[in-house]
Structure 1
């Protein structure tokens, strides 16, 4: 089966197989011999910051020499970057494992969703390759997410909670926090992002119910902070940390990851050097990522109100009151009006585009929404045309692409 047929198959089961519950995952894992039991899992949930936090932890374990897997979603540059051990899974390996999972579910008449299928592929691959540790990023929510079909974890990590996917997770921060908190396994450990008290109370309640030791990240630990367009640096306890994952919000993601690592460092025998090098070498695209100079073009995957707040904070930390040219595309199920209200005062101009997704809001429709706040807006059909327009007309300005991860692959290839 070639890659085009794989995508068609995954698209079909995505339409036919989505159903709440973990029973399909658990049944399939059992038939496969419970591959998830062959490695130790660090499970990461949250609304924003999951990918960066997961990457910091993964890279640190790699620096020590542990064979470590990383599972993230959605993909950013290409489909295979969701599944990594040192580097992303090869097309050949994915196709081989795809056939194993496909045969298993069809022979046993199990209907799974696209995300469940890909999660099964990842878990099988990590076990086959004899990973010692795996960092699993939740797809959506936590309680009923495919990644939560495992019996135990080494550590649960929960990042910042915001309003997103309300149709599935609930309409309040507390309801959403509960869904995320349910990645905690009985008698486990969980470290959480320090945030509003009502959310922390949810974490405390679930931790008590499940007999979890709960750690709340202390963001006051970071000293001598420097944030610019190329790196973040700060002192944390006795360590000097530098990272290429830039922006003010990455300062908080990094500290959450450091707290998680600090909890595990004695039992995993992690040295200062492992941690320093792990953070220095950690990289994930589309997180306030400078992808071109002259003019400066940055891609940021912020795609909900909290993500845009974080982007705004990073812009003001790095560029002060400089006005930005925003290349902006969104999905129609997002709260884009809230995003526009948050960011329009930082804008010199907007160039809207239609993301590469069936859920995309048309560029012209987004343009009409922005025109309530700004008359400096044009619409283009796709991200490449939008970026080209911005570069041609705003040669001396900073250009930031944001609003969706679904156009990152196009933009990175184009630039």
Structure 2
């Protein structure tokens, strides 16, 4: 099959690059195993500060914006970068995790970091990393991104927080502005089990005299953000107050909205990402980009429209096929599942088939409660990420919640998708959700089923093992 051919080519033709990834992921990787306390000893900024100091403080060579949050920070980051690039700036974009290829995590002007570039940067960094104790995989990746953006420097780097905020490796930057997307309960075993505790962690990216733009928040979360901003003297800008939006149309392929700022109105804004929440993310991206624009050269409405129209962020309410319709979304907690369920009204359908897989540390019960209700059948599966929940565990949860519903078990996403296609009628909808890794696997399966379904430059044609340990994949039947 095409997948295995690509996989073997990756291993045998890209040996220096593959070896580089393997060496990076052999370091302490909290994304593989979250059974570690979230504190300043484990997630230690002192380590990251020492790493960047030894490499010449690369993060100080370019201007940056910093984005934290529970939901939508990736979409907001992608939109912000697209606006700045359209405005003529040379841009860097740092996000995590990746969908298909590690190279997605660090991009300049939209282009994935070249393999040989990553290999060369790792050769520079490796001696420093190995001379220190306890450097983590995410710290190393963040350092590599900073170096990529600094040689030569980009004009603006959009930096997405990995986890939390205050102790995240990205928090060594001094941004020109920062943003906090809507907050909800997430990673409660690490960040705290209240909105106030999570808001305090996210607000840790707020810096003195640096503007902070916040998306819509609960009263508790907003009060924490307001308190921290006041304590450090950071100007606070709020969506819903200083910046507003009007959603005019939702379509399966995107949105049409108007955005209203303190000094400008941008009408007829088209965004190629759908769902009412993406209107909020687009408004936040416009507010953030506007906050750093040169007053002598403000972002024009035309620039903002073109930038948002060219945003590329796959796997978010993404649609394939028509009969039946397939929708993929990376929703991975109860709150995002609720938003996803609400957005399904955009996609006309009769019956709903849920293809679901999640990471073991996520709120599986909560997501299934939202997404499984109303589904005609549920197909449980798993990705090959080390934290993927095992199918029997998910099955026990699903059968307890839906004892009369037909529930299928599979150990791989490709056969799960084949099963869903065989059971759905042309006017039904197949929803793939629960994990970005399951969404990635579904995109790759669809590529195998329909090799010309994607544009030639889609990331789906650059698949890699899910992690640096090269977790074995099940062979495609």
- TM-score w.r.t. length of structure 2: 0.83
Aligned to 1:392: 422
Alignment of 1:327 onto 2:351: no
Alignment of 1:269 onto 2:293: no
Q: What is the alpha-carbon distance in structure 2 between the residues aligned to residue 205 and residue 121 of structure 1?
A: 34
Aligned counterpart in structure 2 of residue 62 of structure 1, from 85, 88, 92: 85
SS of residue paired to 1:223 = strand
Superposed displacement of residue 326, structure 1? 1.1
Q: What is the alpha-carbon distance in structure 1 between the residues aligned to residue 441 and residue 321 of structure 2?
A: 14
Aligned counterpart in structure 2 of residue 188 of structure 1, from 207, 210, 220: 210
Aligned counterpart in structure 2 of residue 96 of structure 1, from 114, 117, 120: 120
Aligned to 2:19: 5
Aligned counterpart in structure 2 of residue 300 of structure 1, from 329, 333, 340: 329
Q: What is the alpha-carbon distance in structure 2 between the residues aligned to residue 84 and residue 144 of structure 1?
A: 24
Aligned to 1:310: 339
SS of residue paired to 2:182 = coil
**Cα root mean square deviation, aligned:** 1.9
SS of residue paired to 1:140 = coil
Q: Judging changes above 3 Å, is the alpha-carbon distance between structure 1 residues 348 and 16 closer, same or farther for their aligned structure 2 residues?
A: closer
Structure 1: any 5+ residue segments left out of the alignment?
none
Aligned positions of 1:339-354 closer than 5 A = 339-354=367-382
Q: Judging changes above 3 Å, is the alpha-carbon distance between structure 1 residues 224 and 174 closer, same or farther for their aligned structure 2 residues?
A: closer
Q: Is the 8 A contact 1:77 1:412 kept in 2?
A: no
Aligned to 1:414: 445
Count of matched residue positions in the alignment of Structure 1 and Structure 2: 412
Q: What is the alpha-carbon distance in structure 2 between the residues aligned to residue 376 and residue 340 of structure 1?
A: 14
Q: What is the alpha-carbon distance in structure 1 between the residues aligned to residue 355 and residue 259 of structure 2?
A: 35
Aligned to 1:173: 195
Q: What is the alpha-carbon distance in structure 2 between the residues aligned to residue 272 and residue 257 of structure 1?
A: 13
Aligned to 1:372: 400
SS of residue paired to 1:314 = helix
Between 1:214-223 and 1:375-384, the stretch displaced more is 214-223
Between 1:13-22 and 1:298-307, the stretch displaced more is 13-22
1:360-409 deviation per Cα after TM superposition (whole angstroms, max 9, x unaligned): 11123212211233322101111111111111211421111100012333
Superposed displacement of residue 15, structure 1? 4.8
Q: Judging changes above 3 Å, is the alpha-carbon distance between structure 1 residues 212 and 199 closer, same or farther for their aligned structure 2 residues?
A: same
Q: What is the alpha-carbon distance in structure 2 between the residues aligned to residue 126 and residue 279 of structure 1?
A: 22
1:193-251 deviation per Cα after TM superposition (whole angstroms, max 9, x unaligned): 12111110000110011100011111883235211211111122332210111112212
Q: What is the alpha-carbon distance in structure 2 between the residues aligned to residue 224 and residue 111 of structure 1?
A: 47
Q: What is the alpha-carbon distance in structure 1 between the residues aligned to residue 91 and residue 113 of structure 2?
A: 13
Q: What is the alpha-carbon distance in structure 2 between the residues aligned to residue 170 and residue 224 of structure 1?
A: 34
Structure 2: any 5+ residue segments left out of the alignment?
1-14, 37-41, 447-477
Aligned counterpart in structure 2 of residue 289 of structure 1, from 297, 302, 318: 318
Aligned to 1:247: 275
Superposed displacement of residue 185, structure 1? 1.1
Alignment of 1:122 onto 2:145: yes
The ranges of structure 1 where at least 4 consecutive aligned residues each deviate by more than 6 angstroms after the TM superposition are: none
Q: Is the 8 A contact 1:22 1:144 kept in 2?
A: yes
- TM-score w.r.t. length of structure 1: 0.95
Superposed displacement of residue 285, structure 1? 1.1
Q: Is the 8 A contact 1:77 1:408 kept in 2?
A: no
Between 1:387-396 and 1:298-307, the stretch displaced more is 387-396
Q: Judging changes above 3 Å, is the alpha-carbon distance between structure 1 residues 393 and 129 closer, same or farther for their aligned structure 2 residues?
A: farther
Superposed displacement of residue 20, structure 1? 1.7
Between 1:117-126 and 1:331-340, the stretch displaced more is 331-340
Q: Is the 8 A contact 2:354 2:371 kept in 1?
A: no
Q: What is the alpha-carbon distance in structure 2 between the residues aligned to residue 11 and residue 73 of structure 1?
A: 14
Aligned counterpart in structure 1 of residue 48 of structure 2, from 25, 28, 31: 25
Aligned to 2:411: 381
Alignment of 1:211 onto 2:247: no
Q: What is the alpha-carbon distance in structure 2 between the residues aligned to residue 156 and residue 224 of structure 1?
A: 24
Aligned to 1:83: 106
Between 1:365-374 and 1:263-272, the stretch displaced more is 263-272
- Greater fraction of residues in helix: 1
Superposed displacement of residue 294, structure 1? 3.2
